Amino acid sequence: MTGRLSPVLIGFAVLVYAFLMGPLIIVIGAALSDTTFLTFPPQGLSLRWFERIFEIGAFRRTMVTSFQVATLATICALIVGIPAAYALNRYRVQLPGWLSTLFVLPVLVPEIVLGFSLLRSIQVGAGFPVFSTLLIGHTLLVLPYCVRVISASLASFDFSIEEAAISLGSPKWKTFFTIVLPNVRSGVIAAFILAFITSINDVSVALFLTGPGISTLPIQILAHVEQFFDPVIASVSVLLMVLTVAVMAVVERTLGLTFLTK
C-alpha cells in the first residue's frame, strides 16, 4: 500500500518519531556528562559514570541476578513451551480451543497481581525460597512469548515431513529432535531472545519477589533513583539500550522485525 501522503500527515509522523526518539537520546547524552547531577545537554564528556556502575556492589549483584533469572526462566519456559506449541499445532483438532488461551493467560492477568499473588501463596504460603519464586514468576511471564513465537514458526512447518520420517522407521521422540526442532530453529532463537529481554526489563513481577540479597536490575534502578539523582542511572540505561540493539539484530536475522507487527 503506497501512494501520496499529505504533508500534514508526514509532518505529524515526524513529530511523533521525534517524541519517541528524543527522550532516549537525552538519556544517552546525560550518561556521558561529566557532572555529578543529571543534565542535558551534557557538560563535558566522560565515561566515568559507566565505570561507576561496576563500582557499586548493588548494581553488580543485581545485574548477575537479572542475567541468571532471565536465562533460567527463558530455558524453563522453552522446555515446557516448545512441546505445548507443538501440541497446539500438531493436535489442533484433538485439543480443546481454550488450551491456547490458557498459555496466554499470563498476559491477561496484570503482572503486578501475579507478583503479589506469588508472594502471598507461593513464597509466604508455601514457603518457597525467594529466588525460586522469582524464577517461577519470570517463567510464567515469558511463557506466552515462547508459545506464541514457536507456534508461529510451526504454523509454516509441513508436518508431512515428520510423518515421512516416522513412516521410514524413525522413533517419534527422535523425529521431534532431528526433524521438527531444526526446522523451527529460528523461531526458538527469536523466542529465547524476546523472552530474555522481557525478563530483564520486568518490574511488576519482581517488585514483590525480591528479598535479602536478591534483587533484579530494574528494581535496583528504581531504588537508586529514589535516593540519588546522578548520571549512573543514565549509564545503566544506556547499557540496557545496547542490549536492546543486540536483541533487535538477532530478531531481525531470525524472524525479521516485521514479525512484531503481526
Partner 1 sequence: MLKRLSGWAMSAPATALVVVFLILPVGATIAATFAVGGGPLAAYVDYLSSGFRRTVLWRTLEIALLTTLFSVIIGFFTAYVVSRASPRWRSILIIAAVFPLLTGVVVRSFAFLILLGRNGMVNNVLVWLGVEGAPFSMLYTEGAVIVAMVYLFVPLMVLTLVGVLENIPDDVIQAAASLGATPPQIFRQVIFPLAVPGLIVGAVLVFTGSFTAYATPQLVGGENVMVMGTFLHQQAMVTFDWDSASTIAAIMVVVTLAVVLAMTRMARRLNPMAT
Considering only residues 196-235, where is the footprint of partner 1 by CB under 8 A?
Answer: 197, 200-201, 203-204, 207-208, 218, 221-222, 225, 229, 233-234
**What is the helix, strand, coil percentage profile of the chain, to 5?**
75, 0, 25
Binding partner 1 (rule: CB under 8 A), the pick from 103, 187, 188, 214 is 103
Binding partner 1 (rule: CB under 8 A), the pick from 53, 72, 166, 247 is 247
CA–CA dist 144, 102 (Å, integer): 9
Binding partner 1 (rule: CB under 8 A), the pick from 69, 111, 145, 235 is 111
Binding partner 1 (rule: CB under 8 A), the pick from 47, 58, 75, 95 is 95
Does 18 contact partner 1 by CB under 8 A? no
Q: Supply 89's cell numbers.
A: 499445532
Query: Three-state DSSP class for 184?
Result: coil
What's the Rg (C-alpha) of the chain? 22
Does 190 contact partner 1 by CB under 8 A? no
Segment 62 to 81, residues that bind partner 1, using CB under 8 A: 79-81
Going from the C-alpha of 123 to that of each of 75, 82, 84, 105, 243, the distances in angstroms are: 22, 27, 27, 21, 31
Segment 118 to 177, residues that bind partner 1, using CB under 8 A: 118-122, 125, 136-137, 139-140, 143, 147
CA–CA dist 170, 159 (Å, integer): 14
Task: Tell me the site size for partner 1, rule CB under 8 A.
Answer: 88
CA–CA dist 221, 204 (Å, integer): 13
Residue placing its CB nearer to partner 1 in the complex, 46 or 203 = 203
Beta bridge partners of 33: 45
Does 13 contact partner 1 by CB under 8 A? yes
Binding partner 1 (rule: CB under 8 A), the pick from 50, 67, 116, 131 is 116
